[in-house]
Amino acid sequence: MTILNILQFPDPKLRIRAKPIDNLDEKLQTKIDDMFETMYDAKGIGLAGTQVDFHKRLLVTDVSIDKDEPHVLINPVILSTDGIVESNEGCLSVPGFQDDVQRAKNIIVKYLDRDGASKETEMSGLLAICVQHEIDHLNGKLFIDYLSEAKKQKVRKLIRKLEKD
């Protein structure tokens, strides 16, 4: 397995809209394994293809404490949402910054698992938040896009400072 390079804001490649996957071949299975290794290594709870410069609709998550509940979502679509929840989010592509973002509390999401089986799953809690965050990545959207202009300025300043150090 390989640890992949994670794109960092403001890399313009983070704005690419990922394309649907129509072939679950061996190469894709390798990519999934590499994405899990990369996510666990970076101590993240989710990773979208977009973040590792793979612009296909694939995301992996594991929000469990013991890191033993991996989920693979291929071509995920949110069918319905319910409620609103605010949570403090961070992102492996925006290191060193966290802020509160509003998300749907519960979602029903349709996707293919890594074997190509079609699933329709109700998700809540941290998993629902994480999946919404990762689907945003597949659409070229970052959690900081939801913040006020003043807060976005703060992020840009922070990134410039990190780049200088």
Hey, which residues are catalytic here? 134
- Nearer to Zn ion by Cβ, of 17 and 116: the residue is 17
Cβ at position 116, least distance to Zn ion in Å: 26
By C-beta, is 100 or 120 nearer to Zn ion? 100
Residues that bind Zn ion (CB under 5 A): 91
Residue number of the CB closest to Zn ion reads: 91
Looking at the Cβ atoms of 112 and 130, the one nearer to Zn ion is 130
| DSSP state letters, the chain | --PPPPP-TT-GGGGPPPBPP----HHHHHHHHHHHHHHHHTT-SEEEGGGGT--BSEEEE---TTS---EEEEEEEEEEEEEEEEEEE--TTSTT--EEEEEEEEEEEEEE-TT--EEEEEEEHHHHHHHHHHHHHHTT--GGGGS-HHHHHHHHHHHHHHHH-
Q: How far is the CB of 141 from Zn ion (least distance, A)?
A: 10
Nearest distance from C-beta of residue 97 to Zn ion, angstroms: 11
